[in-house]
Amino acid sequence: GAQVPPAATMCGILAVLGVGDVSLAKRSRIIELSRRLRHRGPDWSGIHSFEDCYLAHQRLAIVDPTSGDQPLYNEDKTVVVTVNGEIYNHEELKAKLKSHQFQTGSDCEVIAHLYEEYGEEFVDMLDGMFSFVLLDTRDKSFIAARDAIGICPLYMGWGLDGSVWFSSEMKALSDDCERFISFPPGHLYSSKAGGLRRWYNPPWFSESIPSTPYDPVLIRESFEKAVIKRLMTDVPFGVLLSGGLDSSLVASVVSRHLAEAKVARQWGNQLHTFCIGLKVHFSILFTGLSSLLRITLGHLSKFKLFSCSYEYLLHRFEGTFLNIVYWSILIAENHFRPSFKI
């Protein structure tokens, strides 16, 4: 599939809260575990510790590479946040926070200030892909949240000492937690409330039968907007071409709108594209794809995924799950009678 910019979601976060051991050995252990995520963010390693709480970050710099190192803070550093992801509407949100002073140009710093202004009920204001952990040192409360459809990974674990852990990958939790789960998309964990709750509640979410009429113009507009707003980067970028329909469409939209985007002023309006090849015999590759397709068809049939709502399909576009969308359309047209029409 295509990504704009490449690997934009790849940072690594690790948060350990309420540990029973606050020794230097424990801090060293958390740093060691954070290094297991180094491949996700080679540009910077950071850690913030407050009493028995630790927030660590491995950064891949996309926006504000010079001063946007994490963890990030509010003005007096009483609110600390470690984030993986991108907030596309950060400039719009900053305009609503005129009384706040921002220390960096990072799109993710807005999370700390939104929490100051609105408390825990700000997550649905974010337009982006993200997973984050936020610590309020004033009362040692914390929250964690994941984007609406789970583009950015996040796992949650519990230590034997009663500590709560969050990480971008299970490898940072598996050796030190007695149990762990995949953090559900569209949810928020609050230490004050003591559990998970869904923050993403669109009106169509509970629909078993789609209620919105099919509108190809709206699908096209949503798709183009989803691509255009991802042209938010302070580093060079490109489009990874798979040879399929989705990446070709992404490249087409980018090439048409690149000249008018902010990023063109810094990096020019020439779109760079890339392809990756595999040194494998075609028969082996075809056999593998055939097996994968049979498994996919079996699961789709079992769970009846094609009764999904029209709005959910639109949100799949918004979340850049383009491969899934097009494969779903292809399979639906040839193997099922879907409840939506493309």
Count Cα atoms within 13 angstroms, Cβ side, for 128.
Answer: 27
The pLDDT of residue 44 = 77
Contact indicator for 214, 341 with CB cutoff of 8 Å = yes
Q: Active-site residue among 11, 53, 152, 177?
A: 11
Give this prediction's pTM: 0.77
Spans of all domains in the chain: 12-198, 216-335
Annotate the chain with three-state secondary structure. Answer: CCCCCCCCCCCEEEEEECCCCCCHHHHHHHHHHHHCCHHHCCCEEEEEEECCEEEEEEECCCCCCCCCCCCEECCCCCEEEEEEEEECCHHHHHHCCCCCCCCCCCCCCHHHHHHHHHCCCCHHHCCEEEEEEEEECCCCEEEEEECCCCCCCCEEEECCCCCEEEECCHHHCCCCCCEEEECCCCEEEECCCCEEEECCCCCCCCCCCCCCCCCHHHHHHHHHHHHHCCCCCCCCCCEECCCCHHHHHHHHHHHHHHHHCCHHHHHCCCCCEECCCCCCCHHHHHHHHHHHHHHHHHHHHHHCHHHCCHHHHHHHHHCCCHHHHHHHHHHHHHHCCCCCCC
CATH assignment of 12-198, among 1.10.10.10, 3.60.20.10, 3.10.20.30, 1.10.150.170: 3.60.20.10
Hey, what are 128's tokens?
């982006």
First-to-last alpha carbon distance for the chain, in angstroms, is: 20
Q: Are strands 273-274 and 239-240 parallel, antiparallel or unpaired?
A: parallel
The pLDDT of residue 319 = 46
The reply to whether 11 belongs to the active site is yes
The pLDDT of residue 288 = 59
The pLDDT of residue 210 = 80
One digit per residue, pLDDT tens: the chain, 342 residues?
A: 444 443 345 789 999 999 999 999 999 999 999 999 988 988 878 899 999 999 999 988 777 777 667 899 999 999 999 999 999 999 999 999 999 999 998 999 999 999 999 999 999 999 999 999 999 999 999 999 999 999 999 999 999 999 999 999 999 999 999 999 999 999 999 999 999 999 999 888 888 888 888 899 999 999 999 998 888 877 777 888 887 888 889 889 988 888 887 777 777 888 888 887 766 655 555 565 566 656 555 554 444 444 444 444 444 444 444 444 344 444 443 433 333 333
Hey, what are 164's tokens?
């709560």
Q: Which residues contact residue 184 at a Cβ distance below 8 angstroms, ignoring those fewer than 6 apart?
A: 146, 150, 196, 198
Query: CA 338, CA 315: separation in Å to the nearest integer?
Result: 18
